[in-house]
A = this chain, B = another copy of it.
């Protein structure tokens, strides 16, 4: 078990070692390890070596000049200057919130960025200011849209954070696919098959092969097949791609460069700059008095959480599972898998940083 503070400190040291500015290294560490704290292990410190690999390949600028390249009072395009998405996205969210402060809402499309960690982190920044936060990002193509044999979309997540009064906030954060790719990696390690409805094979047929995505197949959009609405998951992933990539001038669709899956994917020649994100903030009192709204959110949450449930289960509010895991892990610490510990040990050795392997 590792305490979050220890992992954050280590991550910060690694980002400093590749030349990040101190305050940005600290922020990036905070964002990255928030994923481990919230139970989204696939997006946390397990990917630290991946960010370093981006740096090694010249795709990551440790001292980016993040700037607004075009704007109106409520909209902007931000160029991330090849910076860490972990740093670019919070900066873009700040800009969105500054605009919301002035004109009610702010919407920022980001180009020339990299993977930004968990979408929910950035959306939740809005909660501190009595705003609704929204975040999306495109990602390298792993997903075959309905009837397609080609991978054209990433898992393209969307997160929305909404404040409540006495209840904890509503925080939805989900990929536009049936499952995230990380679930396949877990099955691959264990040599287990996948349920039908998660992936298709190279011929476009539903498959239980947990290696299908690596061998010509693709992840299925949310809905799994046409009969169960996969065209809706495809539509949702497409909206995320257009808002993040096309609106900003980043890469989009099949051209988004690979990150975590660099092992079996090669970037096609680009059509824009880096990876794209889309971030928005709306002031609650741009619509209703914040207290009235938050009281109604408590009522909303109460109705859902209190609903009669299937035997042995309960109805969860988006954000409940992550919050419950965070409550445990922030006390008991975070368990890391052996390959993750090994990758951190290697980074420690390379950069001359101390890291206590527990293997």
Give chain A's interface residues, CB within 8 Å of chain B. Answer: 70-77, 102-105, 107, 109, 132, 145-150, 152, 160, 162, 170, 172, 174-179, 195, 197-198, 203-204, 222-224, 227-229, 231-236, 238-239, 241-243, 246-249, 252-254, 271-272, 282-284, 286-288, 292-293, 296-297, 299-300, 303-304, 307-311, 313-316, 318
Say yes or no: A238 contacts B147, CB within 8 Å. Answer: no
Known contacts A178-B228, A228-B197, A235-B172: A307-B150 contact under CB 8 Å = yes
Say yes or no: B314 contacts A252, CB within 8 Å. Answer: no
Say yes or no: A304 contacts B152, CB within 8 Å. Answer: yes
Q: Which residues of B contact A242 (CB under 8 A)?
A: 162, 170, 297, 300
Say yes or no: A147 contacts B297, CB within 8 Å. Answer: no
Q: Which residues of B contact A222 (CB under 8 A)?
A: 222-223, 229, 232-233
Given contacts A72-B286, A148-B307, A204-B311, 4 further A-B contacts (CB under 8 A): A147-B310, A148-B304, A198-B228, A247-B284
Say yes or no: A246 contacts B152, CB within 8 Å. Answer: no
Known contacts A228-B224, A293-B246, A303-B152: A288-B174 contact under CB 8 Å = no
Main secondary structure of the interface of A (DSSP, over half): mixed
Most B C-beta atoms less than 10 A away, residue of A152, A231, A239: A239
Known contacts A72-B103, A223-B223: A307-B232 contact under CB 8 Å = no
Known contacts A74-B73, A107-B105: A148-B233 contact under CB 8 Å = no
